[in-house]
Structure formats: structure tokens, C-alpha cells
Amino acid sequence: MTPQFIRNMILNYLNLMDKEYAYEGGVIKVKEKVGDVSFTVYIKFSGKWVQVFAIGPSISDLDKETKLKVLEKLLELNATTFEVKYSVQDDTIIMSAESNIYALTFDNFYLEYGSVPFGYKQLIAEVLPIMSKQKTEEQESESNNQQ
């Protein structure tokens, strides 16, 4: 299977899913929204693999204790969530799912693709509260120091 064949197959699948997308520089970009949060799902293919992923928030501004709690929660989610996997690259949370091109039926692509927005939804529900707790505590501390 050529890269063009794989690309066209994925674009066809996205059309069947009624997704709006852009294809730029070998990467397909799809706009998604979970609640009030908008984000982009990226689809890349290389060799025998198709990777579907989204870029989450940075953890670089978190203190060491909060960062550890976030990483523990991501590991827990990896153990309890199928398809989507969480990782941290350059202090940024990534949600991703991969599929071998030989398993790239519509049903398989639909599940792999859908797992990434589902993963983002879990991130919002279970990881962002940990991150925002630190910010809330910092704001309370600053408020107390100003009084």
C-alpha cells in the first residue's frame, strides 16, 4: 500500500464520519470539541503505522508534587483505558492511538480515531482538576499574602 492510498483511504473514512479536516504537509488535522474545549486531532502515517493523536496541556509550570500526581493519574488511565494511551513529550500531555495499515478497516479506524477525543474527555475530567488545584492553591496563597 502506498502512502497516497493510505491517505486517500483515511480521507474517505473521515468523509464517512462527517469530519471537517485539512491535509497539510503529510498530516491530516481534524477539529474536535469536548464540552467547551476545542482541540485538533492529528493523523500521521509512517511506514506500516497510522497514528491518531491530540496535544493536551503543558505540565511545565506545575510544581514537582503536582506533576507527580498528574503523571500517576496518566499511568492509571493507561492501565484502565483501552485504545488511547497517554504520554508526556517535552512536558506536554499527548493522547494517541495507533493502527497497523493492514488492520485499517473503517470499523478499526473509527474506534482508534474515536478513542482520542474520548481520551481528551477523560483528561478534562480526571487530570485537569489536579492541575487546576495547584493554580487555585497558588491564587489563594497570593491572596492571603496580599492581605
Encode pLDDT of 1-26 as tens digits.
788 899 999 999 999 999 999 999 88
Q: Write out pLDDT tens, residues 72-103.
A: 999 999 999 888 999 999 999 999 999 999 99
Across all residues in the chain, what is the average pLDDT?
91
Residues 6+ apart with CB under 8 A from 60: 91, 92
Domain that holds residue 127: 3-146
Helix (H) or strand (E) holding 84: none
Number of domains in the chain: 1
The CATH number of the domain where 131 resides is what?
3.30.1460.10
